[in-house]
A and B are shown apart, each in its own frame.
Chain A
Amino acid sequence: MDFKPAHNPMILRQGWPVVIWLSRGLGQAERDAVLGDLAERNERVGRAIVDVFGLVVRRQAAVLSDLRLWVALAFLILPVSYLLSAIAQSAAGEGAVYSWMYLNNWDWALTRYPGFWYVLRETAMHFGIGCLALACCSWSAGLLIGRLPNAILRASRNAFFVLLAASQFGHAPIRMVQLWMFLHGHLWPSLPDYNAPVTANVFYRVFSPWIVLAAFVILPVLFGIRQGKRSMLQSRNMHVGLVTAATIALVILLIQAPGAELLLGAAIREWLWRNRDAMQWLPLLSCWPMFYWIAMCFGRYRGARQQQRDKQIST
Chain B
Amino acid sequence: MRLKRGSVAVVGAAESDLGLVAPHTSPLDLMAQGTIRALEDAGLKLSDVDGLFAAATQVRMGPMALAEYLRIKPRFFDGTIIGGSSFMTHVAHAQAAIEHGLCEVAVIAYGSTQRSVSRAAASPREYNYYESPYRPILPISAYAMAAARHMHQFGTTREQLAEVAVAARKWALMNPKAWEKEPLTIEQVLNARMVSYPFTVRDCCLVVDGGGAIVLTSAARAKSLKKKPAYVLGVGEALSHATISNMPDLTVTAAAESGPKAFAMAKLEPADVDMLSLYDAFTITPILFLEDLGFCPKGEAGRFVSDGAIAPGGKLPVNTSGGGLSYCHPGMYGLLVMIEAIRQVRGECGERQVPDCKVALAHGNGGVLSSQCTVIFGSEDAL
- Whether both chains belong to one complex is answered with no
The chain A residues found within 8 Å of chain B, CB to CB, are none
